[in-house]
Amino acid sequence: MLQSLEKQLSGAPLFLVPRGESRKNRKEKAGLEDRLLAAGADRQTVLVAVGGGTVTDLVGFTAGTLQRGVAYLSLPTTLLGMVDASLGGKTGVNTPAGKNMVGMFHPPAAVFTVLSALRTLPPREWRNGLAECLKHGLLGNADYFQWVADTGLDEFRRDGDSLRRLVQQSVRLKMNVAAGDPREASGSRHLLNLGHTVAHALEQLSGYRFPHGSAVACGLLWEAAAARADGYLSAGSLEKVARAMKRFGVLPAWTERTPEDILHAARSDKKPPIPRS
């Protein structure tokens, strides 16, 4: 896909940025800005972000501040990028204080999804995206959640129709929420944070070695267990959530930090705060 894009954008400079959440930081953003300005970027420049969620976050934030704001296009190449990271206009970088603590709302001019780009993804990257798909189902469509849980990773990788349905429905479910509260002003968009306060704490505490999808799965299960303990969720529903997460293999054992450490880190997240007991 990149080679084809280079032909379409003949003469446009190509800039490579490091992959991984640990490299999505202010230093990398400043370096990218310097390279763009040295190449002559101006107010008419359009950036094209090709990559996973870390790339679209970094490039989107750079586009939002370069020359006080230029347009950008997003071409996500991971399932997570297609169903979540590239959608909704959130951009940002990580800081020592937490994940995505510095950023802005700067939606792309367009998002182009090329499903064939997923063919080379390793299983871990598929699981990252599927955790977000399960979250979308929990939020807005129980039938979709169950279909994702029942279908399984191998079929999504093998069957184009199932993959197309997966991406289309997840995009629709996320944007139905995000479009009603594009800048998180009314609070309705907070629904999309399901599982993410705990997830971001796990990622930060692990130095971003903990995969985002696994962190989200742990956060979803943690919050489901809390809802069960408080009487908001039935035992059967909790079991369905746990079974789905376990089936996709997104719940690794992690004993490096205590639950108290995780809760402390979660309280510093930019999302709605966890009440202190």
SS (H, E, C) the chain: CHHHHHHHCCCCCCCCCCCCHHHCEHHHHHHHHHHHHHCCCCCCCEEEEEECHHHHHHHHHHHHHHHHCCEEEEEECCHHHHHHHCCCCEEEEEECCEEEEEEEECCCCEECCCHHHHHHCCHHHHHHHHHHHHHHHHHHCHHHHHHHHHHCHHHHHHCHHHHHHHHHHHHHHHHHHHCCCCCCCCCHHHHHHCCHHHHHHHHHHCCCCCCHHHHHHHHHHHHHHHHHHCCCCCHHHHHHHHHHHHHCCCCCCCCCCCHHHHHHHHHCCCCCCCCCC
Q: Which of 68, 119, 260, 276 is catalytic?
A: 68
CA pair distance 135, 197, nearest whole angstrom: 13
Which one of the listed residues 189, 203, 223, 271 is annotated catalytic? 189
Determine whether 184 is an active site residue: yes
Q: Which of 106, 136, 212, 271 is catalytic?
A: 212
> Which of 99, 127, 136, 200 is labelled catalytic?
200
Does the active-site annotation cover 135?
no
Query: Is 223 marked active-site?
Result: no
Cα gap 189→18, rounded to integer Å: 30
Whether 193 is catalytic is: yes
Does the active-site annotation cover 264?
Answer: no
Catalytic residue among 21, 28, 125, 184: 184
Catalytic residue, candidates 141, 157, 165, 193: 193
Active site residue 68: yes
User: Is 190 an active-site residue?
Assistant: no
Active-site annotation holder among 196, 203, 240, 271: 196
Catalytic residue among 106, 135, 174, 240: 174
Catalytic one among 90, 99, 106, 136? 90
Residues recognised as catalytic? 68, 90, 132, 174, 184, 189, 193, 196, 200, 212
